Amino acid sequence: MIDDLKGDESWRMFRIISEFTEGFDKLSNLGFAVSIFGSARFEPDTPSYKTAELIAKRLTENDFAIITGGGPGIMEAANKGSTLANGENVGLNIDLPFEQIPNPYQKVSLQYRYFFARKVMFVKYSMGYVCMPGGFGTMDEFFEALTLIQTHKVYDMPLVLFGSDYYQGLLDWIRSTMMDAGAVFENELDIITLTDDVDEVIDIMNAHRDYKKKLIARARQEEAEKNRN
């Protein structure tokens, strides 16, 4: 019995490694990408779905790739907006007992059994997050990225909450409860942008991409000078 359990654990390690390997292989040349999150439960005729489709289309027109969780609802809207604009987009699908039906608009589709492997792909290959109205999964991705930035485990990137009617109460609670208790500092909320303006989302991502390009150019110049010396 114990030997059988050890065997199961060994094969599980190989499955985990394979998920990382496939993700690294297929996404290594993706370029600048923005992840769009939101509820799988929103239908195509809802405002959030339509706005997510528009945001993805506009980002694609500004030469960003789009990454989603690959499912229905907001994820479908974002993949659809990118595909209709002839852009690059990715769906990081997860095996779930319900709701996770892969949408037909993914240009690159990856399948994950493990949430943590999937999360690594979102963080590693995104230079910004846009969180449309969503449920626990959206909150999970948002707060994980926020924590990684807060603790300097990843480079800073824009975290956009889209929909003031939906998210203002959350930010108010963080300020009135967490901040008042000393658990969160004021400057740590500077990472977050709350907006209802599609143009602002595009401007934020463009500005951050310009900043990253400058950092990359500077690093390459420093490396070239180091090699010459």
Residues 56 and 77: beta-carbon distance below 8 Å: yes
Q: Which helix (H) or strand (E) holds 148?
A: helix 136-150
3-state secondary structure of 160: strand
User: CA–CA separation, 82 vs 90, rounded Å?
Assistant: 10
- Per-residue pLDDT 10s for the chain (229 aa) are 445 545 577 788 889 999 999 999 999 999 999 999 999 999 999 999 999 999 999 999 999 999 999 999 999 999 999 999 999 999 999 988 766 688 999 999 999 999 999 999 999 999 999 999 999 999 999 999 999 999 999 999 999 999 999 999 999 999 999 999 999 999 999 999 999 999 999 999 999 999 999 998 898 888 888 888 7
User: CA–CA separation, 166 vs 160, rounded Å?
Assistant: 13
**CB within 8 A of 64, min separation 6: which ones?**
32, 33, 34, 87, 205, 209
Using only C-alpha atoms, the chain has a radius of gyration, in whole angstroms, of 19
Listed residue (213, 192, 195) closest to 63, CA to CA: 213
Find the distance separating the first CA and the last CA of the chain, reported in whole Å: 61
pTM: 0.92
Per CATH, which fold does 28-228 belong to? Rossmann fold (3.40.50)
> Where do the structural domains in the chain lie, given as residue ranges?
28-228
